[in-house]
Amino acid sequence: MLIAYSIITCGCLIAASVSDIRSHKVADLVWYVMAFNTLIFLICGGMASAPGAVAETGSAIGTVAAAGSVAEAGAGLLLEALLIIFIQERVMSRYYGRADSHAFSCCALYQAATGCCLEAHIMHMAVSLVLLTAIQAAFGNIEHGLRLKRPVPFIPYITLAFIFQSVMIGRAVEFNRLLYWSI
């Protein structure tokens, strides 16, 4: 279930990236599919069906210990995701486009559904901005004051950071599982 969920989420982000690069617009259908996909995943078990569940993802250990159960920790992570979505859609959308805010919001839902907490989303945003800055600096598209000379689509950088972070978190969960079983 998690693999299908991840493939659909990455596919939607890639479709949004291609659309953003080609036409500088992203169809709302992409975000509806991602939201529906996350809703189905959460209804079908969400984090409980994820390999490693919440207790092995690293930063969520404190959440599980404080809450006492995976279900209570999941509710806490979902509330964090809703807070992130509110901040993205109401505050951050003024600094970058609505489609970029929608992409970050969908990634936050994915992260909450797979057991990642607020720190993972902040790290995702930071990696996205570092990628954008580094690549655009290499192309000479940054002027003084760290502003872009020519606007470029941001969703491809969000997608790259999301895929990178998803792979790294997956490897961390597997490493934690191997470490736990070797002790």
> What are the tens digits of pLDDT across the range 93-110?
888 888 999 999 988 888
Residue type, 18: V
The reported pLDDT for the residue numbered 16 is: 94
Tokens representing residue 140 in the block: 């000479």
Q: Which residues contact 82 (CB under 8 A, 6 or more apart)?
A: none
Q: At what angle do helices 2-23 and 155-182 cross, to 10 degrees?
A: 160
In this structure, the number of other CB atoms found within 10 A of the CB of residue 171 comes to: 10
pLDDT of 38 over the 70 cut? yes
Other CB atoms closer than 10 Å to residue 25's CB: what's the count? 9
pLDDT digits (tens, 9 = 90+) for 113-156: 777 778 888 899 999 999 999 999 999 999 988 889 999 999 99
Rg (CA), the chain: 17
Neighbours of 62 (CB within 10 A): 11
Q: Which residue in the block uniquely carries the two structure tokens 């984090």? A: 47
